[in-house]
Structure 1
């Protein structure tokens, strides 16, 4: 197992909110605590797992060789029987004048500062994006004593759960839908933000500008699958808007178009962390079976994971995700 950070856990290590889902997806458990649960499970099999932290996978080649770089000075090669790529996703940026001023962060960076290192990113924040991440991080900012001036979203309605939005509104924070950032103002760091309304085609409407005195702008406008390694390996990729970007074609066992190369989690399409964890279990189970390590209860466990995913994708958002998955799943030799 290779991880470029110093510790395992990915995004979970900075998620202090409680998860939704069912008991099997650790509902009502905080992300930071789920990390410990998963690590304890992994430690049960430590004789069979070599964990390499501070290790970046820098290449996957057509001869099956995987190249790794440990702590920037130890370059080595691995020749695995199978690979599971679970590299997650990266934050999308937003284009506007002066969007590179210090004080303008992605939501993940703000979570890292606050929840991992205990550092306030600033004193007054404008949150851009009213999806679940934007709403949750706004609440966490207020818990840390940071004022949230407003939350805005270019869409005509919020994208996050109403339970999160209601909590924010009760604390007096305005949520401005059909608004976007027009520009950022500042010399050495962010001092002001200018926002304005947009029409139904997301064009800015002149004369609707609002000025906010803020020293932090938090950009939370979605994620894009991080799968350059899959492209490098030669996996067939497809742009699927419902899955937030380029994703690998795969079969029902999460195996890509390159034999014994599997993918799971946000690298196959951006969803909630609960779905990513279940996909990880499923891809690992199928990868092990493919190289001769099928468990006695393989079918039972596989069916259970599939049912968990069906439950997680049962709502309106899930329907949207499923319409994307239908475009990438290989059934037999046909692409759906």
Structure 2
């Protein structure tokens, strides 16, 4: 048996892709390494999901349930506890996926693959924290799983590294459970999370140290204290600025990295700034017939965008199968201009409207977002690295371009 598409990853991107592909008439197989579908959503018990996609506010489990219900109603074949070991690309319409399961190692074949394997968390050693190897050091995801899936409290006195959305949400979660959040430490001179989540710190009177970093952990069997130092505008440690904070738990929320190891292994080209694969407007990688969506493509701040990308990848798979490949197009390259750090997709055609996903390098107020080659301009009151920009380029606008379109984010005129 050969499937039309094999979807790797059962989080929101994979679930949305599976539902969309099935509704498009494709024969679908969904593989997920966890014991239940949903990715990280089942442990995200806070609200704030679904406002764009479902037009109502949901918790993470509620968002996942909407898709899982459709997976079951549509009788979409799926495996859980299925850890993908290898992808082999034999030809454009012949791909093999090898995965382990409780029944043993299995091989399945597909015409296309939608890679929705998400991202992994940075750990303490990746961000330069040294010291004793003791209990009480967790990534944010590990702590969230302990608390919201297994009902285990990781600690009572907590220092959190990173003021991104997950770190801020975990600060609230610990505070609500009666723990003392001693501090949130942020390397940059500005908070990393959405404004609504930054408010959490004020609400719970949690200290936020901007332009600081944790450099050392000390303890015997468990964390007893961490050393914090101030950094300058070049993020270099300032001599003599160090101080210690006593705590029993250190939570690392230092960002995510797209999980693209298997794609790298088979030769997919990776964008060094996004961390994910280089893709066209249908989210096809540089390997024909292999598509990518969600945090494996780039780190999203809204799950709604992740689901949107999953559906787009399914549309790409459908077109690929119908035409035995994506038909030849005049691809136009999207280029980063001033104050643009992350940008996807990388190539667009002008045959359809396209959503551009982007992040800036630094905060800026009174902003002009321009695409000079097509004379398109938007005005925004503020942009932040923590907030994804999602901008629609219409087909007729794209068609005005030559070989490339540059995105610029600049200070607007007063």
TM-score by length of 2: 0.69
SS at match of 2:235: coil
Residue 237 of structure 2 is aligned to residue 207 of structure 1: no
Q: How many Å separate the matches in 2 of 1:145 and 1:41? A: 38
1:68-98 CA-to-partner distances (Å, cap 9, x unmatched) read 1113x61121110111000011111222222
SS at match of 1:237: coil
Q: How many Å separate the matches in 1 of 2:194 and 2:387? A: 15
1:5-54 CA-to-partner distances (Å, cap 9, x unmatched) read 100000111111222663425542111211111111222211xx211000
SS at match of 1:202: coil
- Counterpart mapping for 1:147-226 below 5 A: 147-226=180-259
Corresponding residue number in structure 2 for 1:298: none
Structure 1 gap ranges (5+): 294-301
Q: 1:30 aligns with which of 53, 56, 59?
A: 59
Residue 82 of structure 2 is aligned to residue 55 of structure 1: yes
Cα distance change on mapping 1:230 and 1:335 into 2, 3 Å: farther
Cα distance change on mapping 1:303 and 1:237 into 2, 3 Å: same
Q: How many Å separate the matches in 1 of 2:316 and 2:241? A: 54
* Comparing 101-110 and 281-290, the one that deviates more: 281-290
SS at match of 1:280: helix
1:290-324 CA-to-partner distances (Å, cap 9, x unmatched) read 2239xxxxxxxx979x56979xx98724898569x
Following TM superposition, by how much is the alpha carbon of 1:163 offset from its aligned partner in structure 2, in angstroms? Answer: 2.0
- Residues 132 and 219 of structure 2 are in contact (CA less than 8 Å); yes or no, is this contact kept in structure 1? no
RMSD across aligned C-alpha pairs, in angstroms? 2.9
Residue 329 of structure 2 is aligned to residue 283 of structure 1: no
Following TM superposition, by how much is the alpha carbon of 1:219 offset from its aligned partner in structure 2, in angstroms? Answer: 0.5
Cα distance change on mapping 1:160 and 1:321 into 2, 3 Å: closer
SS at match of 2:245: strand
- Counterpart mapping for 1:226-265 below 5 A: 226-240=259-273, 243=274, 245=275, 247-265=276-294
Q: 2:383 aligns with which of 316, 327, 330?
A: 316
Q: How many Å separate the matches in 2 of 1:193 and 1:321? A: 32
Q: 1:69 aligns with which of 100, 106, 115?
A: 100
Cα distance change on mapping 1:62 and 1:266 into 2, 3 Å: same
Residue 72 of structure 2 is aligned to residue 43 of structure 1: yes
Q: Greater share of helix residues, 1 or 2?
A: 1
Q: How many Å separate the matches in 2 of 1:270 and 1:23? A: 17
* Comparing 80-89 and 191-200, the one that deviates more: 191-200
Structure 2 gap ranges (5+): 1-29, 324-350, 359-368, 370-379, 394-398, 406-414
- Residues 194 and 387 of structure 2 are in contact (CA less than 8 Å); yes or no, is this contact kept in structure 1? no
1:200-223 CA-to-partner distances (Å, cap 9, x unmatched) read 111222322222111110011111
1:218-253 CA-to-partner distances (Å, cap 9, x unmatched) read 01111110011111222222211xx2x2x2111111
Cα distance change on mapping 1:86 and 1:192 into 2, 3 Å: same
- Counterpart mapping for 1:286-301 below 5 A: 286-292=316-322
- Residues 152 and 175 of structure 1 are in contact (CA less than 8 Å); yes or no, is this contact kept in structure 2? yes
Count of matched residue positions in the alignment of Structure 1 and Structure 2: 311
Q: How many Å separate the matches in 2 of 1:319 and 1:179? A: 18
* Comparing 96-105 and 252-261, the one that deviates more: 96-105
